[in-house]
Amino acid sequence: MRVFKFGGASVRDAENVRNVCQVLQTIGYEDCLIVASAMGKTTNALETVVHNYFQNRFDLAESVDLVKEYHFAIVEELFPNKEHDIYNRLKELFDSITYFLLNNKSPNYNFVYDQIVSQGEIISTIILHHFLLDSNIVNEWVDARNLIKTDTTYRDANVNWNVTVENIKREINRPTLCITQGFIGSDYNGFSTTIGREGSDYSAAIFAYAIEAQSVTIWKDVPGVLNADPRYFNETVLLEHISYQEAIELAFYGASVIHPKTLQPLRQKEIPLFVKSFINPSLAGTNVSKGAPLTPEVPCFIVKKNQLLISLSSKDFSFIMEQNISDIFKLFCEYNIKVNVIQNSAISFSVCVEDKFNLFEDLRLRLINDYKVSYNENVSLYTVRHFDQYSADKILKDKTLLLKQVNRETMQIVTKE
């Protein structure tokens, strides 16, 4: 069985939903599993709903209506017959969102986030399921929440692999095309969970691992894995073949084309990963597999925007030793703040971090009890794998350098634009 993952860009509007159908008809869909994301920027829109639920009730109804109108506009274009079952199904889903918002008693932001934001994938896959049926592509809709079981770390849940693999093997065991959701699962109480932002790639890998898939294909709006993000770099090169190891490194440092957790399950079962273009599915794309070259022939550039550079120093000029660093990292873990770069001297300790849950201010109030804390907001972290002098100079041009770190293979710099 092959696993296909279609991201938000590939289903962002009616035209692209039709294109998914064309891709399947072009490359074949027998004995396949489709893992799909929420449509377009739906996750962002649902995050606004959650924010308004806690911070701005006056705009809550309007923010729900915007999500509803967006999806109904797509449905009306795809299904001209207003008596189609999809209309009632979609109404039921939005009614359930409204019901939850009216009746929820939990003050836990992350719990509410997962119950609301997970609906984006449910809505997307139900629309895709019905459109493919109407296009004579027989398929079954499968609720990933019944299969992928996790703990209760809402917004960044950990998968219970034993239970999940058993569930998937039991459910996904037939040649019919199946359509399910990325990014979501459920805890032992049946409440929805999410496995990390942009986690649909990881979901595809979980399913592939469980069914020992023939391959996984991630369909993107780029021709494959490039040596740099074309949004930030003008000249890019397609990496046609890369090893699991190199792909893991690139994903770890923040290459957006592959989710960081995706590669490990595939590597364990030696399942090849293809990254291909849904715009031109005939292109070869990128093949990530065993036996591929360990090192790309060109430098690879990765940029992470909106980072925080935090510098801590001891108040009494004492050394920052192993125990201090251990205590600091326990706090980072407690506040779910991801550390991307570390640099320390005798009396100072600097880290470039990603504050995806907006908890830095709470952390800072803890840190100032023991340390002097200074920080720079909205900095950029550039990572260059297999760098040379030309690539290093290219990155530093017209930027203010705040931190630089170099090893044999990788250069990382933190800059202020």
Residues in the chain: 417
Which residue ranges make up each domain of the chain?
2-213, 300-416
Instruction: Give the pLDDT score at 108.
Output: 97
Distance CA 220, CA 207 (A): 19
Instruction: Give the pLDDT score at 75.
Output: 98
Distance CA 416, CA 377 (A): 9
What's the CATH number of domain 2-213, 3.40.1160.10, 3.90.1150.10, 3.40.50.300, 1.20.20.10?
A: 3.40.1160.10
Same CATH fold assignment for domains 2-213 and 300-416:
no
What's the CATH number of domain 300-416, 3.40.47.10, 3.40.50.2300, 3.40.640.10, 3.30.2130.10?
A: 3.30.2130.10
Contact between 266 and 209 under an 8 Å Cβ cutoff? The reply is yes
Instruction: Give the pLDDT score at 278.
Output: 95
Instruction: Give the pLDDT score at 357.
Output: 86
As averages over each run of 10 residues, the pLDDT of the chain (417 residues) reads 96 97 94 96 97 96 98 98 96 97 96 98 98 97 98 96 97 90 97 92 97 96 89 88 88 79 92 95 91 77 94 86 90 92 87 92 93 94 90 85 90 90
Indicate left, alpha or beta for 397 from its phi (over 0: left) and psi (-120 to 50: alpha). beta
Instruction: Give the pLDDT score at 294.
Output: 64
